[in-house]
């Protein structure tokens, strides 16, 4: 029987109770990884970890707020305590808040909360995760960005867009700094997805159509499609990739971005 693509690896995935994180946790486990399912939502997070164990895999659930340093430190510590090491850090947790609008109408607290989770959460994941990756002899960090960091959004969401641009910048600098340590850092940039996060934001048919009209494939992506892209970045198949942005977006950026 062939080994899975993540056989022998330990992966920590934030935002793993739903959407991309959930699908990635299930897929990574299927491919042989032992998985730390990290989320604020306990019931849903425990359910994902339980589903992995019931399928014959190994998983723990860790409740953590990625924007809190003590929680970020603890999620890494609990992963190492349970599985002995950390090989893959998937900083996937993120928020897209309903009152996120243009610069004039977005409340300051919405901007701050978005940055706390989407940017500081990635920073703290790396702050405490990188020492664990060093102890393991290297590994892969995946940060969830977004196509809007390149294009901007047709439906205004200034805080979210700016935060994902920051994630891309963080990814590039981390990749350069840690390349000689056998630590790879890449960004996954999904296009518009049929996930709870986006559908709550695109809460009318008019808003959904404003997005769909720009996508050459003419449909929203699925979380499972993003999980398969994350699997590639997590695995040794992407061993010569670092500092890269992997766009999985139905062709939307190809349709609107002019090559430099």
Cα dihedral across residues 145, 9, 194, 50: positive or negative = negative
Query: Is 160 one of the catalytic residues?
Result: yes
Catalytic residue, candidates 115, 160, 240, 256: 160
Write out the catalytic residue numbers. Answer: 160
């Amino acid at each position: 029987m062939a080994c899975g693509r993540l056989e022998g690896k330990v992966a920590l995935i934030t935002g793993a109770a739903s959407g991309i994180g959930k699908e990635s946790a299930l897929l990574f486990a299927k491919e042989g990884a032992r998985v730390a399912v990290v989320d604020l939502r306990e019931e849903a997070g425990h359910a994902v970890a339980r589903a992995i164990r019931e399928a014959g895999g190994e998983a723990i659930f860790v409740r953590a707020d990625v924007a809190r340093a003590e929680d970020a430190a603890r999620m890494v510590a609990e992963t190492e305590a349970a599985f002995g090491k950390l090989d893959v850090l998937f900083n996937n947790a993120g928020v897209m808040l309903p009152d996120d609008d243009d610069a004039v109408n977005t409340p300051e607290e919405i901007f701050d909360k978005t940055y706390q989770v989407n940017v500081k959460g990635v920073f703290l994941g790396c702050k405490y995760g990188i020492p664990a990756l060093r102890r393991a002899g290297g590994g892969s960090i995946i940060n969830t960005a977004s196509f809007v960091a390149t294009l901007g959004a047709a439906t205004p969401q200034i805080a979210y867009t700016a935060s994902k641009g920051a994630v891309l910048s963080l990814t590039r600098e981390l990749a350069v700094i840690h390349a000689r340590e056998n630590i790879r850092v890449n960004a996954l940039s999904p296009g518009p997805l049929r996930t709870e996060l986006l559908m709550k934001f695109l809460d009318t048919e008019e808003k959904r159509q404003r997005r769909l009209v720009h996508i050459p494939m003419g449909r929203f992506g699925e979380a499972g499609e993003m999980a398969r892209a994350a699997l590639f970045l997590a695995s040794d198949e992407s061993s010569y990739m670092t500092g890269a942005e992997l766009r999985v977006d139905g062709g939307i950026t190809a349709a609107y971005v002019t090559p430099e």
